[in-house]
Amino acid sequence: MKADEDLQNVGRVGLPLAPAFNWSVGNWMEQFFDGLKERKIMASKCGLCGRVFLPPRMICERCFAKTEEWVEIPETGTVEAFTAAHVRVGPDGELADLPEPQLIALVKHDEADTLLVAGLVAKNASAGMRVRVVWNETPSGALDAISCYEPMD
Ligand SMILES: [Zn+2]
């Protein structure tokens, strides 16, 4: 009984830690990011079933073969789904309201079999809309190399 009470009356102290992490993305994502720096969209392809993964995956989800072929994918694609974000996640994980909703789209690039996610700038967004990549003119790295998608017309 005494042990239970002790466990429920544990003192808590907050520690304001902000550790920085460097995370290895691995060979497959590294090749994808290296491509983005040169404005190339690189996908991995399964040598057995031919499935093309964007973003690249090391192992095919269908036949479990290692994907060792690389293909450059067009900047164009089709919106499969989209949503409107009303908040953003800040650098410390806190939520902040956006001044106006921002569209986020799942896009199936031409010649790819999987979907890439990025912002979408369009007045009348719809599933099936044809879009192209808008490259960031001053990217801080590979993660923001693709600024957003825009309608092709
Ligand atoms: Zn496969």
Using CA atoms, how far apart are residues 62 and 67, in angstroms rounded to an integer? 11
Instruction: Say if strands 95-109 and 76-89 run parallel, antiparallel, or are unpaired.
Output: antiparallel
Residue 115 lies inside a defined structural domain of this protein: yes
Which residue's entry shows tokens 């969209």? 41
Q: Ligand 1: distance of its center to the CA of 41 in Å? A: 20
Residues with Cβ–ion distance below 5 A, ligand 1: 46, 48-49, 51, 60, 62-63
- pTM of the full structure: 0.80
The whole-number pLDDT of residue 67 equals 95
Per-residue pLDDT tens, the chain, 153 aa: give them: 577 777 777 787 888 887 787 778 788 889 999 999 999 999 999 999 999 999 999 999 999 999 999 999 999 999 999 999 999 888 788 899 999 999 999 999 999 999 999 999 999 999 999 999 999 999 887 778 999 999 997
The pLDDT of residue 14 is: 83
Give CA–CA dist 13/24, Å, rounded: 32
Does some domain include residue 11?
Answer: no
In this predicted structure, what is the pLDDT of residue 19?
A: 78
| Ligand 1 mean position, distance from CA 47 (Å) | 7
For residue 54, is it within any domain?
yes
Q: What are phi and psi of 76, to 5 degrees?
A: -105, 155
What is the bridge-based pairing of β-strands 41-45 and 52-53?
antiparallel
Q: Is residue 74 part of a domain?
A: yes
**Domain tally, the chain:** 1
How far is the centre of ligand 1, averaged over its atoms, from the C-alpha of 53 (Å)?
10
What range does the domain containing 31 cover?
A: 24-151
- 80: in domain: yes
- Which pLDDT value is given to residue 49? 97
